[in-house]
Amino acid sequence: MIVFVIILQVISAVLGIVLVLLHSGRGGGLSDMFGGGLGVTAAGSTVVERNLDRLTIVCALIFGFTTLALALMFD
């Protein structure tokens, strides 16, 4: 059981890093990478960016729950 939780935590950590790096910063991000121009930036967040936000939140929650689970298992 502990091995499964550790593997899940490592996967969620790596996936979280990748998802955070895909977010747009000051110079653009996911929308600019796939050919989005000024029209997309002026219109606000796209569906892809909102889904990216949701995936990042889910990944962060999984990481948090696995951290708590590991803390309780090793206590």
* Domain-wise residue ranges, the chain: 2-17+38-74
Q: Classify the phi-psi angles of 25: left when phi > 0, otherwise alpha if psi is within -120 to 50, otherwise beta.
A: beta
pLDDT (tens digit, 9 = 90+) per residue, 9-67? 999 999 999 999 998 776 655 656 666 555 545 555 688 889 999 999 999 999 999 99
3-state secondary structure of 25: strand
> What's the pTM?
0.74
Which of these, 63, 61, 52, lies nearest to 21 by C-alpha position? 52
What sign does the dihedral 55-59-62-64 (CA atoms) show?
negative
pLDDT of residue 23: 85
Is the per-residue pLDDT at 7 higher than 90? yes
Contact partners, residue 39, CB within 8 Å, separation at least 6: none
